[in-house]
Amino acid sequence: MARLKIHTLGSKVLQQKAEQVTEFDGELSELAGKMMQIMVQGNGVGLAAPQVGKSIRLIVVAFLVEGALIEGEERFSCIVNPRLTLGGETRVREEGCLCLPGIEGEVERYSLCELYGQNLTGEEIQVSFSDLPARILQHEVDHLDGILFIDRISLTSRALLSKKLRQLRRKRSEED
Ligand SMILES: [Zn+2]
């Protein structure tokens, strides 16, 4: 597998609806492993396949407990074909994204979610999450539908960020 890199604002793959995963093979596990490395190196708490240029429904997440990474093997999770049922109240909190370096914004998200999906071997999973993990999941699943957090911030906040966003897009097109 070729070296993966983070795609930033302006890259088309970030705006596409990602494809359902149907093959639970070694290639999928290898991609998930590489995504975890990239997530850790970038100090991220979650990463979706489109962020590394792969338009498939796979996310990796580092779940947090009271702001700290959970130690041990279980601190990372790979979820294939994730679906969320949202509930609870909505809360606003600052978010960032590896695809939008240097940009942060206040995003409203639900406080509870039920996660349905599959693991890397194709087994069905169903888990409940609240607070920060629920927020991370909503952010990552959004990526699979071509939605970035800046699509969910207020128009005022977006206007304030417009200069930075323009610079990012310009940087991207220079790289292409
Ligand atoms: Zn993101």
pLDDT digits (tens, 9 = 90+) for 100-143: 999 999 999 999 999 999 999 999 988 888 888 899 999 999 99
Contacts of 31 (CB under 8 A, 6+ apart): 1, 4, 49, 54, 58
The candidate with the shortest Cα–Cα distance to 81, out of 104, 66, 59, is 59
- Annotated active-site residue 23? The verdict is no
Distance, CA 17 to ligand 1 centroid (Å)?
14
Query: In angstroms, what is the span from residue 95 Cα to ligand 1's centroid?
Result: 9
Q: Compute, in angstroms, the gap from residue 96 CA to the centroid of ligand 1.
A: 7
Torsional sign, CA 7, 139, 85, 75: positive
pLDDT at residue 76, rounded to an integer: 61
Question: Which of 105, 99, 109 shows the shortest CA–CA distance to 134?
Answer: 109
Centroid of ligand 1 to alpha carbon of 14 (angstroms): 9
Percent of the chain with pLDDT over 70: 91
> Domain 12-175: which CATH class?
alpha beta
Distance CA 104, CA 26 (A): 35
pLDDT for 174: 73
Q: What global pTM score does this model have?
A: 0.91
Query: Per the residue annotation, which of 123, 140, 174, 175 is the catalytic one?
Result: 140
Which residue from 133, 118, 129 is spatially nearest to 57, judged by alpha carbons? 118
